[in-house]
Amino acid sequence: MSGALRGVIIDAPIEVLASKFPDAVLDYAVAIPFAIDPDVDFISSVTVQAKPSGAGEIVINSLSVSDDILIITVAGGQAGRLYTYKFAVAMQNGRGFTFVAVQKVTPVSPSDQAQPVPSRAFGPLTTWTYGPSLDFSQPRNSMYIF
């Protein structure tokens, strides 16, 4: 199964992100130490999608990784709507897993109401891929020493 992504079911609770206001652009960190043995493996790529999706819905502006922490920057969203994020993580050793997180967009005033949902499907993928640095003191970069 060389090079193939092997699925692993992770017994992890659904992550609940702090709520946000519709106009806020904020970073959220999701720690996943339960899935990583840092002595032998590291994250090679991550994708994330949000639903519902479409015009006026939440937008994932960026995705980054720092050790075992996934960081997403999100903007927009409909007041009062609950959003679901689906993360798919691929590890260097070929393991892979998915998990979800949820987030509520808080109404600014009591009269705020969400517009009809354009699409109940997950939106476009936002992707992060590991790029080695020249810091060979890091075990994950030692494979690049010849």
pLDDT digits (tens, 9 = 90+) for 96-127: 888 999 999 999 998 888 899 999 999 999 99
Residues 109, 86, 19, CA angle at the centre, nearest 5°?
Answer: 20
Question: How many whole angstroms separate alpha carbon 100 and alpha carbon 87?
Answer: 6
What is the pLDDT, as a whole number, of residue 131?
80
- The pLDDT confidence band at residue 58, using thresholds 50, 70 and 90, is very high
Residue 37 scores a pLDDT above 70: yes
Q: Which domains does the chain have, with CATH numbers?
A: 6-144 (2.60.40.10)
DSSP collapsed to 3 states, 85-134: EEEEEEECCCEEEEEEEEEEECCCCCCCCCCCCCECCCCCCEEEECCCCC
Contacts of 110 (CB under 8 A, 6+ apart): none
What is the pLDDT, as a whole number, of residue 78?
96
| Average pLDDT of the residues in 8-13 | 54
Residue 30 scores a pLDDT above 50: yes
